[in-house]
Structure 1
């Protein structure tokens, strides 16, 4: 019974995507939807196989993933440090938070023409945009997480003689970690969204470039396949964030494993 329940819970998230794929294939194969508007699922799969065999897909995924990861590390690192400083130092908060909030309200994708002027269409432009997009979710959630730590826990840590560094490492950061990881999941979505837009506007390599190049030749199967690849990469990123939640938040009641019932 438990095994069947686990299998059911594992398959449940895939139910709606599989249903959408089935409806997609049936609607195009029966002519309900014209293949000039939306290629069939089988045509998209064939395009994916072709791109995989000639090496185009793996190269594009590698280039796009490197851009996304580099921007995430830079922007996420800056956001985390600023959130940490502003959460524990009142002077830093008063000095920088207002400026950061003003910058946050500027749509970073609207800066693409200016970024192209600054950096051209090379790697720096796309990494800059990704870093700018992911910095603020990490910053805000880190700041909120640190400010939401129970003051009673901090006082208890002081009573037990914890040093300032030990207090941050054992009390403040663990208490803020749920909020920080929420910011990470939010930032991962913005990361791929920013990369999609930047690659389709100014790029000479990557998944977005592959899609735009296919559009020029009206290869809709390749365009749709590129969109599905972006969706898959986004899902994999979210799965990685969930894995970090389960690993780093074992103490949290939501992620704690239920105790096994005693044997009769």
Structure 2
């Protein structure tokens, strides 16, 4: 009896503690509540334009078996991969240089502010007039959407490096190349990876917007087609697939961030704030 009434074994207690400390149960609970509210609202007040949660799930699986969807994903992701790749290859070095040399920032700061505040949809007519329809215009818009986040966060990362470390390295005779390799780049890498992750989310947004507003192709064309035919389950299913792709890409970027900057996570865990 004393054994049955005693405390839980240490291994089981540790398992329960890990489950309680994890975010997964709360995320699952939130999703279940969201699905129930969606189902009830759609059945009571949705009508023709809002499908139920169950109908959306069925339509999503139907779309996954449709070759037309995979062709649309292929076409859309061409602009996403090329545009986001350009944003990273150009944005990271530009942000690092601007953070290291404040004089250069005086010339570029106004243009970064313009990119931050300008509604990107307003750029679409300019792109159509300049380069016409096609892959080039879609790549340019995806790049413009995402590059500003990469530049700003890379610049912030370099600025956040403790100047005392740089002065100490110089006092020990470190060259500029050694300062970049041993202090600036490792110190700025967490912010750079954050900028890459945020830029990836903006790139997905740009990919969809350009296809909705400029060229009715690929995923944007499917959304417009299903909306015009009042096929609400397929419309919502397409949006769910786009969201799933965005979440998957951001999860991969977050995983890369943890692998490349393990010290940043350790420091944040030790931070009493």
Q: Distance in 2 between matches of 1:114 and 1:171?
A: 42
The Cα offsets for residues 32-51 of structure 1, whole Å up to 9 and x where unpaired, read as: 12341311122222222222
Q: Distance in 2 between matches of 1:131 and 1:96?
A: 17
Say which structure is richer in helix.
Answer: 2
* Equivalent residue for 1:127, pick from 139, 142, 164: 139
Counterpart position of 1:36 = 48
Counterpart position of 2:215 = 203
Q: Distance in 1 between matches of 2:67 and 2:133?
A: 23
Counterpart position of 1:116 = 128
SS at structure 2 position matched to 1:136: helix
Listed as ranges, the gaps of 5+ residues in structure 1 are 259-264
In the alignment, is the contact (CA less than 8 A) between 1:68 and 1:195 conserved in 2? Answer: yes
Q: TM-score under structure 2 normalisation?
A: 0.83
In the alignment, is the contact (CA less than 8 A) between 1:246 and 1:255 conserved in 2? Answer: no
Q: Distance in 1 between matches of 2:181 and 2:121?
A: 36
Listed as ranges, the gaps of 5+ residues in structure 2 are 1-12
Larger radius of gyration: 2
Q: TM-score under structure 1 normalisation?
A: 0.86
Q: Which stretch shifts more, 99-108 or 209-218?
A: 99-108
Q: Distance in 1 between matches of 2:263 and 2:155?
A: 21
Q: CA RMSD in A?
A: 2.3
Cα deviation, residue 161, structure 1: 4.1
- Residues 2 and 205 from structure 1, CA distance in 2 versus in 1: closer, same or farther, beyond 3 angstroms? farther
User: How many corresponding residue pairs?
Assistant: 256
Q: In the alignment, does 2:86 pair up with 1:68?
A: no
* Equivalent residue for 1:225, pick from 233, 237, 244: 237
Q: In the alignment, does 2:42 pair up with 1:25?
A: no
Counterpart position of 2:63 = 51
In the alignment, is the contact (CA less than 8 A) between 1:79 and 1:136 conserved in 2? Answer: yes
* Equivalent residue for 2:183, pick from 171, 175, 182: 171
- Residues 66 and 5 from structure 1, CA distance in 2 versus in 1: closer, same or farther, beyond 3 angstroms? farther
